[in-house]
Structure 1
Amino acid sequence: MKNFVFSEAVVMAGLRWTIVLIFMLFGLAKFAEYEAAGVAKIAAHYPLFAWMYPLWGESGASNVIGTIELLTGAMIAVGAFSARASFVGGLMGIFTFCVTLSFALGAPAFWEAGYGAPFLGSTGQFLVKDAVLLAACFAIMVDGLRRHTAP
């Protein structure tokens, strides 16, 4: 056990299937009323999503977001067998987490009231994990690119 090292393929598989699980769980949750209401608190006032709420309402907008998350998770899963799908799924994940991290700009309760930076408030605690998820999707995208261009 002293010289045992996990292969890159094993490490990437662990990363991939964990990210797939996250996208599937969060994507499915978007179809539930409680999650649609929670997402609307931030997304309904965010320019990228605000236009959806008058068109489709709280549930419809959340369903669209959930569908995108489920498709992203599916592409990352298929990426286990297809380098191109890994690249595209990873890129979709990067976009997803760049968007969620951008919510931090002006989000209510990002910093804890009365304390300020670096003390995270409830919104900050919810969003800051997305920095790691962004890095994981970047690794999945790079893995897909490497596999696609490998001789």
Structure 2
Amino acid sequence: MAIQTNRFRLQIAERGVGSLSLLALLRWALVVIFLWFGGMKFTAYEAEGIAPFIAHSPLMSWLHILFGIRGASYVIGVLELSTAAALIAGAINPVFSALGAAMSTITYLITITFFISTPGVAEPTAGGFPAISAAPGQFLLKDLVLLAASLCLLSASVQGPWLKAENSQNGNL
């Protein structure tokens, strides 16, 4: 199933051409992560755990101001559970395939910025950056892989005119 617009073609990522069915592994791994992490955001333990990331983030610190530590965690939890829902629906609907992948991509683009804004990422006893601490540095490093998975799903879900030239060069048009 695909939906054609003037410029873009939305499709379910796993139903594209070639070996894209392997993208189902990425989709369902992201679903598990967003369900698990999103559900955890409704606990005091997780709210306190993410508080330093939010407090020091120029993109997210306003959440603490408006909602407090627990409220900010709840907002993020709702967004993460919504992302999981969109990814699940995306397994059968091309619009949700693109939406879920975009929401996931935005999530990990934001968390990657925590490398810059969160104190303690660089490990001073190892000479500073690029040496990173176990926590929070190595904890954040996994988000690079999650961002890559999200981008793979997004690029497979949203086909645009930029791919026509590439496909015609490869003889795929």
Whether 1:89 and 2:94 are equivalent positions in the alignment is no
Q: In structure 2, what is the equivalent of residue 68 of structure 1?
A: 79
| Structure 2 runs not aligned, ≥5 long | 1-17, 160-173
Q: In structure 2, what is the equivalent of residue 29 of structure 1?
A: 40
Further displaced range: 119-128 or 104-113: 104-113
Q: In structure 2, what is the equivalent of residue 46 of structure 1?
A: 57
**After superposition, what is the alpha-carbon deviation per residue over 1:98-137, rounded to whole angstroms, capped at 9, x for unaligned?**
0000011132121212112332201110111101100101
Ranges of 4+ aligned residues in structure 1 off by more than 6 Å: none
Which of 129, 132, 142 aligns to 1:120? It is 132
| Structure 1 runs not aligned, ≥5 long | 1-6, 147-151
Alignment partner of 1:129: what SS? helix
How far apart are the structure 1 equivalents of 2:120 and 2:38?
24
Shift of 1:54: 2.7
How far apart are the structure 2 equivalents of 1:106 and 1:73?
26
Whether 1:140 and 2:153 are equivalent positions in the alignment is yes
Q: In structure 2, what is the equivalent of residue 3 of structure 1?
A: none
Q: Is contact 1:79-1:144 (8 Å) kept?
A: no
How far apart are the structure 2 equivalents of 1:66 and 1:104?
21
**Count of residues in correspondence between the two structures:** 143
Identity among equivalent pairs (%)? 40
| TM-score for the superposition, normalised by structure 1 | 0.86
Further displaced range: 82-91 or 109-118: 109-118
Bigger strand share: 2
- Greater Rg by CA: 2
| TM-score for the superposition, normalised by structure 2 | 0.76
Q: Is contact 1:111-1:118 (8 Å) kept?
A: yes
